[in-house]
Amino acid sequence: MNVGIVGASGFAGLELLKLLLQGHDVEVKALNSQRFAGKKVSSLDQTFPSKGLRFTGYSIEQLIDLDLDLVFLCLPHGEAAKLAPKFGCKVIDLSADHREVKEAGEKRVAYGLPELFADEIRRADLVANPGCYATACILSALPLTSKGWLKRTVFDCLSGYSGAGREKTSAPEFKARVKDNAWAYDLTGHRQGPEIQAVLGNRFSFTPHVVPLFRGLLCTQHAALKQPKAGRDVLKAYEAFYKGKPFVQVWGKGCPDLASAQGKPFFAVGGFEGKENGELVTVGSLDNLLKGAASQAVQNMNLLLGFPEGKGLVE
C-alpha cells in the first residue's frame, strides 16, 4: 500500500511520518512540504530515525500521478478542502475542514473517532480526523451519554503549545508569551466546539487553555448527572463502554496526568468522583500530537485499508 503526506513538516505530520516508518507495512511515497522541500527531515527533528530522508515538493498533479492508495492532509485549516476532492484515492484530513460535512465532492465523509464510528470509517472515502480537544471531551463523556445519565457537562482543558503549529510557535512573540505562562482562549467560540456538539448535543461548555509545555492535553470534566451515581458504578459504566477499545484506558484508581499520555497513542480517563448533588468529576489525558492527531490518523488508515486497528501503534 502506497501513502503520501501533504504537510509533512508540521508537528503532526512529522509524528505521523515516524509512526508510518517505524511500525507499518505501508510505503510512504511522498512527504510533501513546499516550505522545506529538499531539506532533510532531521533538520527539523534531530531525533528523527532516518537521517538521510528529505521532504518532497511534488505538485498536486505529480502527487496524483503517484497512484497512492491513501493521502494524509496535514494542512492549515482551509487548505485541505481545496485539495481533497482532487485525489482519487482515500483521504484522511487532519484539519478541521471536513469535520462537519458528510460529503466532499463525490467522496463520502466519516468523522474519524474509531471508538464510536468504526463502521462508517471503513466505508468512507474521506475521514475527518477529530481535533485533539474534541477527542478528549467526547471520550470523557460518551459513557455518560450512552447511559442517559448526563444532564450537562463542563470541560476544562489544558494543552501544550504544539497545538498552535510550527509556524506560530516559532515566532519570537509567541515564545516570549508561553514562557512560564498559561492562558485561556476562544472562550466560547473554539473551532472544535461544533464537532463536540455534533456528538454530545448542546449539553456542554468547553474552555481551552495553553500551558508552557510542548505536548500533552488534560481534560477535566465536571458533569451534572440527572441522578447522583456512586463512583464505583460510574467506573463500571466506563469499563463496560470501552471494553474492546484498545486506545482508551480506564483507570480504576487515581487520575491520569499529562505525563501518563505523552508519547503514547491512548486516551486515559480516571477520577470518577461523585457528589451527593449529582456532580461527577473525571480527568482525561492524551497526547495532542498522537491520539489527538497522528496516531488517531493511523487508526483511521488501518480501518480504511483493512489492517488491524492497532497496526503500527501497539505490539
228 burial via Cβ count (<10 Å: 0-12, 13-18, 19+): middle
Catalytic residue, candidates 74, 132, 137, 157? 132
Q: Is 132 a catalytic residue?
A: yes
Cell of 217: 492535553
- Which residue shows C-alpha cell 461544533? 194
**Which 8-state DSSP code applies to residue 286?**
E
Element housing 21 (H / E): helix 11-23
Burial classification of residue 189, based on how many CB atoms lie within 10 Å of its CB (0-12 exposed, 13-18 middle, 19 or more buried): exposed
Where does 171-243 show beta strands of DSSP type E? 183-184, 204-211, 217-225
Q: Give dist(CA 102, CA 88) in Å, integer.
A: 17
Cell numbers representing residue 41 in the block? 527531515
Residues belonging to the active site? 132
